[in-house]
Structure formats: C-alpha cells, structure tokens
Amino acid sequence: MKNLSEYIRKNPQRTTAIFGVNIEQLKQLLEGLKSHEAERRKVEGHHSPINPKGAGRHAKLSLDDQIYLCLFYLRHHPTFEILGLMFDVSKTTAHDTFEFWLHALRELLPASLLEEYLDDEVAWEIVEEVLEQDLLIVDSTEQRRERPKDGKAQKQCYSGKQKQHTFKSQIITNSDGSEIIDVIAGVPGPSADINLLRQQQPRLSEEQHYIADKADIGAQRTLTPHKKPKGKPLSDEQITENQQTSRERIFVEHLIGKIKVFRVMQERFRLRPQKYGLVFLTICGLVRFKLGRIDFGFS
C-alpha cells in the first residue's frame, strides 16, 4: 500500500475522490475523532495493566491510517479482504478497525438536526419556530440488500417497485437541501412512504408543512403533485403546478445524491442487515459535516 499520508500531502486535491471529504475536512475529522476517542477513554477509565507498559503487540496501523481505512471503505465499499490487502493488514483486522471507527464517527457526527438538539428542549423550540417558516421536503430512497435466507424475511424485504430485496430510508430536509432535519433509516423496502412520514411528523411542530411526491398523497399538511385520473389527462394548470412542485423538490434529490457519493450507500449492501441503520446514519452525519452543519471548533 502507498503511504496515504504522504500521498495526500503531495496530492491534496485527490482527498475528496479517495475519502469523500476535502483535505481541510479530513484534517478536522482526524482531530475530532482523536479527541473524541481520548475523551471516551478518559471517561471510561482504565484499570492497571497486567503486563508492563510497552508489552504486547503494537498496532500495525497508525491512528490516521485506521481512520483512513474506515473512510475509504465508506467511500469505495471494497471487500474486507481487498481492504486488508490495501492497508497491509489481515481481513479480520480490517473489519475490526472499520467497526471501531464507524462507531466513533456515529457518536461524533449527529445524523440530523433533530438528533443534534434532541436533549436540548429549549434550543429545539427555537429551531422549530424557524423551521415552521420553511416548507420542508420529504423523499425516500431504497438500496439493494442481500436476500434473506428465511422465506418470511424475504417476503418482508421484497420491494415490488424495485423487483428486489431492499432497505428503505426517508429523509426530511429544508427547502434548499442544505440540512438533514430528520431521517428514518433501514426499514423494509415495501414500507409505505406515507406511513414513514406519519411517524416523522409528530417529532416536529404541529404547524410544520411539507412537500412530497405522489407516494405521500393524503398526508396532513403536505403538498403533493396532482395524480393523473384514470382515463383522463391532467389539465394544463395541474401540469404547471406539478412542474413547480418538481422544481421545489429537486433539492432533496441532490441531498440523496450526496449520500450516495459514498458507495456503501449506493451498491448492494453486504454488511449484516443489523448494521444498515448505523451505516446510513453515519453517512448522514458525514454529509452534514461536509455541508458545514457540524463544527468541532478546530481551525
């Protein structure tokens, strides 16, 4: 494997293609993750070691390289065997390293605005007042998954729309797609979009209004496109209104595209199904970080 630190130092413009974040964002992530891990170890405390200091096998990868490994997996979605070969470690070590820093990223980066202010009722009330002035956009996305072995599970996960077994996630964003307001991740593919929206609406203000697609027709306080009546065309006015709705909703499509820049969210999901929500929410946190919505206070 090339020395990634040296390669990035000489070619900082390649950082986004390799890790999904630019060089300045990568530096902030490295510092934030290291500080987070140091604080976690401090809080948990440590017992006196049985072996003398310096004994035992030393980690083959530096902290920077461990974090690079995790980000590289999320960005490119290789097998762990290939990932291990690239970083000159075993398949098992590659997997364990990825798992460790995946959880660290998830703890460090809130996946949504709602999650970020979940424990601060006063601040959230202020945020809700601001959001009420905006028309929030709702959309869902599906991703292929491994076919379950159990027949009952296969039926539960089979999406007739996609003609395959899928996970579904739904995102609520603001009117310009610059923030993830709320997210539901990793439900079975056949889940109805309108049911997911009805789960999300009670989390936000009762005065909040939304714009969504035809799958959410019937949801309260939600603007949706006109559905073509059976055997009849839409009027010119309805067509114009649908076009306007599409122009307003395009920003959530752009946001979902930013999530799918990380190929782990684009290709068939190969990790254990129980990990899907964790990975999707971690990527949402990374996207919010890239959009400048999360600041560690590092210059």
pLDDT tens for 15-70 read: 999 999 999 999 999 999 999 888 877 777 655 555 555 554 556 889 999 999 99
Q: Quote the domain boundaries for residue 73.
A: 4-49+58-108
Percentage, residues of the chain above pLDDT 90: 79
pLDDT at site 161 = 85
Mean pLDDT of 99-105: 97
pLDDT for the residue numbered 46: 56
Contact criterion met (CB below 8 Å) for 34 and 63: yes
pLDDT score of 12: 94
Q: Residue 141: which of 162, 157, 158 has the closest Cα?
A: 162
The whole-angstrom separation of Cα 31 and Cα 243 is 45
Q: In this structure, are 148 and 260 located in the same domain?
A: yes
pLDDT over 80 at 242, yes or no: yes
**Mean pLDDT score, 289-294:** 94
Q: Is the pLDDT of residue 298 over 80?
A: no
Could you say which of 108, 125, 145 is where a domain stops? 108
Same-domain check for residues 122 and 77: no
The answer to whether residue 83 sits within a structural domain is yes
* 138 and 76 co-located in one domain: no
CA pair distance 82, 88, nearest whole angstrom? 10
Rg, C-alpha atoms of the chain: 22
Task: Tokens for 22, please give them.
Answer: 């630019």
**97 and 122, same structural domain?**
no
pLDDT of residue 103 exceeding 90? yes
Same domain, 258 and 149: yes
pLDDT band at 197, cuts 50/70/90? very high
How confident is the model over 152-160, as a mean pLDDT? Answer: 88
Assigned domain for 284 exists: no
Spell out the alpha helix ranges (H) of the chain. Answer: 4-10, 15-19, 23-44, 63-76, 80-87, 91-108, 113-116, 121-131, 151-157, 193-200, 236-259, 276-290
Q: What is the mean pLDDT of residues 201-214?
A: 95
> What confidence score (pLDDT) does residue 38 get?
86
pLDDT above 70 coverage of the chain, percent: 93
Average pLDDT rounded to a whole number, residues 164-175? 96
Does 95 fall in a domain? yes
Task: Name the domain boundary from 92, 108, 124.
Answer: 108
Residue 176 located in a structural domain: yes
Q: Are residues 175 and 28 in the same domain?
A: no
Residue 244: the pLDDT is 94
**Backbone CA torsion sign across 128, 131, 136, 138:** negative
Domain-embedded: residue 20: yes
**Residue 142 contacts by C-beta under 8 Å, 6 or more apart in sequence?**
159, 161, 162, 166, 167, 168, 189
Q: Is residue 289 part of a domain?
A: no
Report yes or no on 276 lying in a domain: no
Residue 295 resides in a domain = no
Same-domain check for residues 103 and 117: no
The whole-number pLDDT of residue 56 equals 46
Non-local (6+) Cβ contacts of 297 within 8 A are: none
* Average pLDDT over all residues of the chain: 91
The reply to whether 232 and 202 lie within a common domain is: yes
The structure's pTM equals 0.91
Domains in the chain, number: 2
- As a whole number of angstroms, the distance between CA 187 and CA 250 comes to 23
